[in-house]
A = this chain, B = another copy of it.
Amino acid sequence: MADKVLVFSRFAKSMLARFGEKFELLETGGKPANEVFTADQLGEVRALMTMGAQPLGRETFDLLPSLGAVVCYGTGYDGVDLKAAAERGLVIGNSPAANASAVADLAMTLLLALMRRVIPADAYLRSGGWSGAKPSPLLKPPRGMTGAKVGVYGMGEIGRKIAARVAAFETEVAYHSRSRHDVPYRYVGDLGELVDWCDVLLIAVRAGPDTQRIIDASMLKRLGRDGVLINISRGSVIDQPALVAALADGTIAGAGLDVFEQEPYAPDALSELPNVVLTPHIGGHTLDAHVAMQDCVIANLSAFFAGRELPYKVE
């Protein structure tokens, strides 16, 4: 009997094909597991594979009496009810750092695209604005990266990689995190002080109850009207209605967002704004990152079914 894995989130077919070679997959297609499978089928499931941001707790655990492991695809596991998992003695795995480079690259992509106004620039050319000498959306020169004060919030693997990249653009980098790290950037012990100081705030902190909506209206005011905000972490870190208001009334200058309070994000006031760049949670969406994350998932599941410790375990 092949080892049975409940596929709790939706994954690309090509990805599931690779897992399917090693495990027997029970795909829910995003529906509650008991609508798709019988109690007998679910009774044989010992491991579950999920996207870390997707809510997962008692309701699902109750359907899976033999469940022993929850394996998250990606770095995050903020959707998993850790308390409920601990009560049942479940082990939790993730794919730490496997996508860090890709996510850091996307943070830089959002920042540069926003600062240099690539989206309106490209539209201006394609529509004939430049050749027709129409009023340019780029008339007023933007401030460049040179000398910009960049604050990185969070100094895990992703924060570190963001800092290394942004420092190469002749910027001044400082960071805030719960504790000081051995990195060549100035540590600021208070998040608000970092926000007061910086022109660019890059959010790379791990999402959790302690960071819930920590970037609120008052923080945005402190970021200031020349300030820009980039978030590739989780939407929950920002008070999104406050952000939309701050972008609309000029409290801050702009934002680049790969993550949202509700995903998949549905167009609202945010998508009407010209001073934002929006991407559909594609931070870890590169070929390299996917292969690395898949490797972590396979290693975790293989170890679990072999009765060994998970190599990429959430403590």
Contact = CB atoms under 8 A, between A and B. Distances in A.
Interface of A: 12, 101-102, 105-106, 108-110, 112-113, 115-116, 118-119, 121-122, 124-131, 133, 136, 138-139, 141-147, 164-165, 167-170, 263-267, 271, 277-280, 282, 285-290
A28 B290 CA distance: 57
5 contacts: A101-B146, A102-B146, A118-B118, A131-B265, A144-B288
Contact of A121 (B125, B147, B263, B278): B278
A307 B188 CA distance: 52
A138 B281 CA distance: 11
B139 A278 contact: no
Given A102-B146, A131-B267, A146-B102, A136 B280 contact: yes
A165 B12 CA distance: 33
A279 B282 CA distance: 24
> Most chain-B Cβ atoms within 10 A of its Cβ — which of A125, A130, A271?
A125
B286 A122 contact: no
B144 A102 contact: yes
Nearest to A139: B12
A136 B129 CA distance: 28
Nearest to A272: B126
Given A113-B112, A146-B102, A264-B133, A118 B288 contact: no
A175 B56 CA distance: 50
A110 B129 CA distance: 19
A309 B102 CA distance: 50
Contacts of A133: 264
A129 B221 CA distance: 32
Contact of A105 (B101, B130, B144, B264): B144
Contacts of A119: 118-119, 122
| 9 closest residue pairs by CB, A with B | A144-B286, A131-B266, A168-B168, A109-B112, A130-B264, A121-B279, A126-B271, A130-B280, A125-B278
